[in-house]
Protein backbone atom coordinates (compact mmCIF):
# COMPACT_ATOMS: atom_id res chain seq x y z
CA UNK A 1 0.00 0.00 0.00
CA UNK A 2 1.15 3.51 -0.77
CA UNK A 3 2.39 5.36 2.30
CA UNK A 4 3.20 9.05 2.02
CA UNK A 5 4.20 11.59 4.63
CA UNK A 6 4.63 15.26 5.38
CA UNK A 7 7.36 16.17 7.83
CA UNK A 8 7.57 19.88 8.68
CA UNK A 9 10.03 21.50 11.05
CA UNK A 10 8.28 23.52 13.79
CA UNK A 11 10.44 26.61 13.42
CA UNK A 12 7.56 29.02 12.77
CA UNK A 13 4.07 29.28 11.33
CA UNK A 14 3.12 27.29 8.23
CA UNK A 15 3.43 29.52 5.18
CA UNK A 16 2.16 29.12 1.62
CA UNK A 17 5.22 27.13 0.55
CA UNK A 18 4.61 24.70 3.41
CA UNK A 19 0.91 24.44 2.57
CA UNK A 20 1.60 23.87 -1.13
CA UNK A 21 4.00 20.99 -0.48
CA UNK A 22 1.71 19.52 2.17
CA UNK A 23 -1.22 19.67 -0.25
CA UNK A 24 0.80 17.93 -2.99
CA UNK A 25 1.89 15.17 -0.59
CA UNK A 26 -1.67 14.73 0.69
CA UNK A 27 -3.17 14.66 -2.82
CA UNK A 28 -0.63 12.08 -3.96
CA UNK A 29 -1.42 9.79 -1.03
CA UNK A 30 -5.19 10.18 -1.38
CA UNK A 31 -5.05 9.70 -5.17
CA UNK A 32 -3.13 6.45 -4.62
CA UNK A 33 -5.64 5.30 -2.01
CA UNK A 34 -2.89 5.04 0.57
CA UNK A 35 -2.04 6.30 4.03
CA UNK A 36 -0.83 9.80 4.86
CA UNK A 37 1.54 10.26 7.80
CA UNK A 38 2.28 13.51 9.65
CA UNK A 39 5.71 13.62 11.30
CA UNK A 40 7.28 16.53 13.17
CA UNK A 41 11.00 17.04 12.52
CA UNK A 42 11.98 18.79 15.74
CA UNK A 43 15.47 17.38 16.10
CA UNK A 44 17.14 20.80 15.87
CA UNK A 45 16.00 21.93 19.33
CA UNK A 46 17.47 25.49 19.31
CA UNK A 47 15.39 26.35 16.22
CA UNK A 48 12.11 24.90 17.47
CA UNK A 49 9.49 27.54 18.28
CA UNK A 50 7.22 26.56 21.20
CA UNK A 51 3.69 25.94 19.98
CA UNK A 52 4.66 25.96 16.30
CA UNK A 53 3.97 22.26 15.76
CA UNK A 54 0.47 22.53 17.21
CA UNK A 55 -0.23 25.65 15.16
CA UNK A 56 0.92 23.91 11.96
CA UNK A 57 -1.35 20.96 12.54
CA UNK A 58 -4.29 23.23 13.28
CA UNK A 59 -3.70 25.37 10.17
CA UNK A 60 -3.22 22.39 7.84
CA UNK A 61 -6.41 20.89 9.25
CA UNK A 62 -8.20 24.17 8.53
CA UNK A 63 -6.96 23.89 4.95
CA UNK A 64 -8.83 20.59 4.65
CA UNK A 65 -5.98 18.11 5.05
CA UNK A 66 -6.18 15.10 7.32
CA UNK A 67 -3.71 12.36 8.24
CA UNK A 68 -4.03 8.73 9.23
CA UNK A 69 -1.07 8.77 11.62
CA UNK A 70 0.64 11.58 13.48
CA UNK A 71 1.51 13.15 16.82
CA UNK A 72 -2.08 14.13 17.51
CA UNK A 73 -3.82 10.96 16.27
CA UNK A 74 -1.25 8.28 17.09
CA UNK A 75 -0.52 5.24 14.96
CA UNK A 76 1.48 1.99 14.86
CA UNK A 77 4.85 3.60 14.09
CA UNK A 78 5.02 6.30 16.75
CA UNK A 79 6.29 8.39 18.27
CA UNK A 80 5.83 10.86 15.42
CA UNK A 81 8.22 13.51 16.75
CA UNK A 82 11.91 13.12 15.96
CA UNK A 83 12.90 14.42 19.38
CA UNK A 84 11.43 11.23 20.88
CA UNK A 85 13.19 8.86 18.47
CA UNK A 86 16.83 9.40 19.45
CA UNK A 87 17.39 5.77 20.52
CA UNK A 88 16.46 4.56 17.03
CA UNK A 89 18.97 6.88 15.39
CA UNK A 90 21.72 5.79 17.75
CA UNK A 91 20.93 2.14 17.00
CA UNK A 92 21.15 2.77 13.26
CA UNK A 93 24.46 4.58 13.66
CA UNK A 94 25.84 1.71 15.77
CA UNK A 95 24.84 -0.78 13.05
CA UNK A 96 26.67 1.24 10.40
CA UNK A 97 29.71 1.49 12.67
CA UNK A 98 29.75 -2.30 13.06
CA UNK A 99 29.62 -2.71 9.27
CA UNK A 100 32.40 -0.18 8.65
CA UNK A 101 30.04 2.02 6.65
CA UNK A 102 30.90 5.09 8.73
CA UNK A 103 34.19 6.39 10.11
CA UNK A 104 35.27 8.96 12.72
CA UNK A 105 36.25 12.38 11.40
CA UNK A 106 38.05 15.05 13.44
CA UNK A 107 38.36 17.70 10.73
CA UNK A 108 37.13 21.16 11.64
CA UNK A 109 34.95 23.17 9.28
CA UNK A 110 37.84 25.56 8.74
CA UNK A 111 40.16 22.72 7.77
CA UNK A 112 37.62 21.29 5.34
CA UNK A 113 36.98 24.69 3.77
CA UNK A 114 40.72 25.24 3.29
CA UNK A 115 41.14 22.12 1.12
CA UNK A 116 37.64 21.47 -0.22
CA UNK A 117 36.21 22.93 -3.40
CA UNK A 118 32.66 23.77 -4.39
CA UNK A 119 30.82 26.23 -6.65
CA UNK A 120 29.95 29.49 -4.96
CA UNK A 121 27.23 29.08 -2.36
CA UNK A 122 27.26 25.29 -2.37
CA UNK A 123 28.28 22.87 0.36
CA UNK A 124 32.06 22.20 0.40
CA UNK A 125 33.09 18.80 -0.89
CA UNK A 126 34.68 16.74 1.87
CA UNK A 127 37.97 15.37 0.48
CA UNK A 128 38.06 12.20 2.61
CA UNK A 129 40.85 13.37 4.89
CA UNK A 130 39.96 11.01 7.77
CA UNK A 131 39.00 7.95 5.71
CA UNK A 132 42.23 6.24 6.72
CA UNK A 133 41.96 7.28 10.35
CA UNK A 134 41.22 10.42 12.40
CA UNK A 135 43.59 13.27 11.61
CA UNK A 136 43.37 14.61 15.17
CA UNK A 137 42.85 11.59 17.51
CA UNK A 138 42.71 13.88 20.52
CA UNK A 139 39.47 15.49 19.31
CA UNK A 140 35.98 14.09 19.77
CA UNK A 141 34.95 12.82 16.31
CA UNK A 142 31.91 13.28 14.16
CA UNK A 143 30.84 10.23 12.14
CA UNK A 144 30.81 10.33 8.34
CA UNK A 145 29.04 8.00 5.97
CA UNK A 146 31.43 6.28 3.59
CA UNK A 147 29.93 7.20 0.22
CA UNK A 148 31.34 5.00 -2.54
CA UNK A 149 30.45 5.27 -6.19
CA UNK A 150 27.92 7.62 -7.71
CA UNK A 151 24.67 7.63 -5.72
CA UNK A 152 21.59 8.17 -7.84
CA UNK A 153 17.84 7.99 -7.56
CA UNK A 154 14.92 8.41 -9.95
CA UNK A 155 12.56 11.26 -9.09
CA UNK A 156 8.94 11.20 -10.28
CA UNK A 157 9.18 14.81 -11.50
CA UNK A 158 12.86 15.63 -12.10
CA UNK A 159 14.02 12.28 -13.44
CA UNK A 160 17.42 10.81 -12.62
CA UNK A 161 19.28 12.61 -9.84
CA UNK A 162 22.99 12.03 -9.24
CA UNK A 163 25.23 13.31 -6.48
CA UNK A 164 28.83 12.25 -6.85
CA UNK A 165 30.43 15.51 -5.80
CA UNK A 166 29.38 16.09 -2.23
CA UNK A 167 31.59 13.40 -0.73
CA UNK A 168 31.25 11.57 2.59
CA UNK A 169 28.67 13.32 4.77
CA UNK A 170 28.14 13.62 8.53
CA UNK A 171 25.62 11.36 10.27
CA UNK A 172 26.39 12.44 13.84
CA UNK A 173 28.22 15.47 15.17
CA UNK A 174 30.99 15.32 17.75
CA UNK A 175 28.50 16.29 20.47
CA UNK A 176 26.36 13.25 19.66
CA UNK A 177 23.55 15.07 17.83
CA UNK A 178 22.53 13.05 14.78
CA UNK A 179 22.09 14.70 11.42
CA UNK A 180 18.89 15.37 9.52
CA UNK A 181 20.14 12.92 6.87
CA UNK A 182 20.29 10.00 9.30
CA UNK A 183 17.08 10.83 11.16
CA UNK A 184 14.90 11.24 8.09
CA UNK A 185 16.17 8.04 6.47
CA UNK A 186 15.70 5.98 9.64
CA UNK A 187 12.20 7.38 10.13
CA UNK A 188 11.09 6.77 6.54
CA UNK A 189 12.31 3.17 6.72
CA UNK A 190 10.72 2.56 10.12
CA UNK A 191 7.37 4.06 9.10
CA UNK A 192 7.18 2.16 5.82
CA UNK A 193 7.09 5.30 3.68
CA UNK A 194 6.92 4.28 0.02
CA UNK A 195 7.39 7.74 -1.50
CA UNK A 196 8.75 11.01 -0.16
CA UNK A 197 6.94 14.05 -1.54
CA UNK A 198 8.71 17.27 -0.58
CA UNK A 199 9.99 20.59 -1.93
CA UNK A 200 12.55 21.08 -4.67
CA UNK A 201 14.90 22.75 -2.16
CA UNK A 202 15.71 19.24 -0.84
CA UNK A 203 16.39 17.79 -4.28
CA UNK A 204 20.18 17.57 -3.85
CA UNK A 205 19.94 15.40 -0.73
CA UNK A 206 17.86 12.64 -2.35
CA UNK A 207 20.73 10.56 -3.85
CA UNK A 208 22.71 10.48 -0.61
CA UNK A 209 19.60 9.61 1.39
CA UNK A 210 18.87 6.78 -1.02
CA UNK A 211 22.46 5.53 -0.64
CA UNK A 212 22.17 5.67 3.15
CA UNK A 213 18.82 3.84 3.13
CA UNK A 214 20.24 1.10 0.91
CA UNK A 215 23.27 0.72 3.19
CA UNK A 216 21.04 0.34 6.25
CA UNK A 217 18.85 -2.25 4.54
CA UNK A 218 21.91 -4.22 3.41
CA UNK A 219 23.14 -4.16 7.00
CA UNK A 220 19.88 -5.74 8.18
CA UNK A 221 17.82 -2.70 9.11
CA UNK A 222 14.14 -3.42 8.36
CA UNK A 223 12.30 -1.56 5.64
CA UNK A 224 12.65 -0.61 1.99
CA UNK A 225 14.01 2.67 0.55
CA UNK A 226 11.23 5.01 -0.61
CA UNK A 227 10.90 6.72 -3.95
CA UNK A 228 10.96 10.50 -4.36
CA UNK A 229 8.74 13.20 -5.82
CA UNK A 230 10.00 16.75 -5.51
CA UNK A 231 7.57 19.63 -5.93
CA UNK A 232 8.89 22.65 -7.87
CA UNK A 233 9.45 25.77 -5.81
CA UNK A 234 6.97 28.58 -5.41
CA UNK A 235 8.44 32.09 -5.52
CA UNK A 236 7.17 35.47 -4.43
CA UNK A 237 6.71 38.43 -6.76
CA UNK A 238 10.42 39.29 -6.42
CA UNK A 239 11.51 35.80 -7.40
CA UNK A 240 12.52 34.68 -3.90
CA UNK A 241 11.43 31.36 -2.40
CA UNK A 242 8.41 31.66 -0.14
CA UNK A 243 9.41 31.05 3.45
CA UNK A 244 8.65 31.87 7.04
CA UNK A 245 9.95 35.41 6.51
CA UNK A 246 6.76 36.07 4.49
CA UNK A 247 4.68 36.50 7.63
CA UNK A 248 1.71 37.97 5.80
CA UNK A 249 1.50 34.78 3.72
CA UNK A 250 1.33 32.40 6.66
CA UNK A 251 -1.79 30.28 6.88
CA UNK A 252 -2.55 31.82 10.26
CA UNK A 253 -2.42 35.37 8.84
CA UNK A 254 -4.58 34.41 5.86
CA UNK A 255 -7.11 32.76 8.18
CA UNK A 256 -7.27 35.84 10.37
CA UNK A 257 -7.73 38.01 7.28
CA UNK A 258 -10.86 36.03 6.41
CA UNK A 259 -9.52 33.94 3.53
CA UNK A 260 -11.72 30.89 2.91
CA UNK A 261 -9.78 27.60 2.93
CA UNK A 262 -11.47 26.52 -0.30
CA UNK A 263 -10.25 29.69 -2.03
CA UNK A 264 -6.70 29.06 -0.88
CA UNK A 265 -6.81 25.35 -1.80
CA UNK A 266 -7.94 26.16 -5.32
CA UNK A 267 -5.18 28.75 -5.72
CA UNK A 268 -2.58 26.28 -4.44
CA UNK A 269 -3.89 23.66 -6.84
CA UNK A 270 -3.53 26.04 -9.79
CA UNK A 271 0.02 26.87 -8.68
CA UNK A 272 0.77 23.13 -8.89
CA UNK A 273 -0.39 23.08 -12.50
CA UNK A 274 -3.60 21.21 -11.76
CA UNK A 275 -6.73 21.86 -13.87
CA UNK A 276 -8.55 23.92 -11.26
CA UNK A 277 -11.07 26.56 -12.35
CA UNK A 278 -11.14 30.09 -10.96
CA UNK A 279 -13.45 29.17 -8.12
CA UNK A 280 -13.23 27.93 -4.56
CA UNK A 281 -12.89 24.17 -4.14
CA UNK A 282 -12.29 21.93 -1.12
CA UNK A 283 -9.14 19.82 -0.97
CA UNK A 284 -11.08 16.61 -1.66
CA UNK A 285 -12.19 18.00 -5.02
CA UNK A 286 -8.57 18.14 -6.19
CA UNK A 287 -7.69 14.50 -5.50
CA UNK A 288 -8.85 13.18 -8.88
CA UNK A 289 -7.07 16.07 -10.64
CA UNK A 290 -3.62 15.34 -9.21
CA UNK A 291 -1.08 13.91 -11.64
CA UNK A 292 2.71 14.27 -11.08
CA UNK A 293 3.36 15.05 -14.75
CA UNK A 294 1.31 18.23 -14.38
CA UNK A 295 3.75 19.66 -11.84
CA UNK A 296 6.46 20.53 -14.34
CA UNK A 297 9.98 21.44 -13.23
CA UNK A 298 9.97 25.23 -13.28
CA UNK A 299 9.30 27.39 -10.18
CA UNK A 300 5.92 29.10 -9.92
CA UNK A 301 5.33 32.75 -9.05
CA UNK A 302 2.70 33.27 -6.39
CA UNK A 303 0.08 35.99 -6.32
CA UNK A 304 -2.79 35.87 -3.85
CA UNK A 305 -6.20 35.82 -5.47
CA UNK A 306 -9.69 35.75 -4.04
Q: What is the mean pLDDT of residues 167-191?
A: 95
pLDDT tens sequence across 234-275: 887 666 776 655 445 789 999 999 999 999 999 999 999 999
CB 189 within 8 A of CB 216: yes
CA distance 83 to 243: 23
Q: What is the pLDDT of residue 249?
A: 79
- Considering the candidates 31, 139, 244, 252, report the single residue annotated as catalytic: 244
Active site residue 110: no
- What string of DSSP letters covers 21-40? HHHHHHHHHHHTT-EEEE-B
Pick the residue with more confidence: 115 or 172?
172
Among 104-113, 114-123, 124-133, name the one with the lowest average pLDDT: 114-123
φ and ψ at 170, to 5 degrees? -80, 130
pLDDT tens sequence across 222-238: 999 999 999 998 887 66
Q: What is the pLDDT of residue 234?
A: 82
φ and ψ at 160, to 5 degrees? -70, 125
Reported confidence tier of residue 305, pLDDT bands at 50, 70, 90: very low
φ and ψ at 195, to 5 degrees? -150, 135
Distance of CA 30 to the CA centre of its chain: 19
Reported confidence tier of residue 116, pLDDT bands at 50, 70, 90: low
Pick the residue with more confidence: 304 or 92?
92
CB 35 within 8 A of CB 68: yes
Domains of the chain: 3-81+232-301 (3.40.50.620)
Angle between helices 52-63 and 16-31 (to 10 degrees): 60
Please report the sign of the dihedral spanned by the C-alpha atoms of residue 61, residue 66, residue 72, residue 78: negative
pLDDT at 120 over 50: no
Among 194-198, 244-248, 283-287, name the one with the lowest average pLDDT: 244-248
Amino acid sequence: MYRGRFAPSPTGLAHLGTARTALAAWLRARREGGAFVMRIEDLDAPRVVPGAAEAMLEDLGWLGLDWDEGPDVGGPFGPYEQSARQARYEAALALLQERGQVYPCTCSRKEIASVATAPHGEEPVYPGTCRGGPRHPERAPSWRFRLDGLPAVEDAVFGRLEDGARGDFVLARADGVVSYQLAVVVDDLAMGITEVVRGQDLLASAPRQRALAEALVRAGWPGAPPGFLHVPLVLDAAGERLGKRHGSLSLRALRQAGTAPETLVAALGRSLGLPVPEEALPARALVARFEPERLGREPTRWSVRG
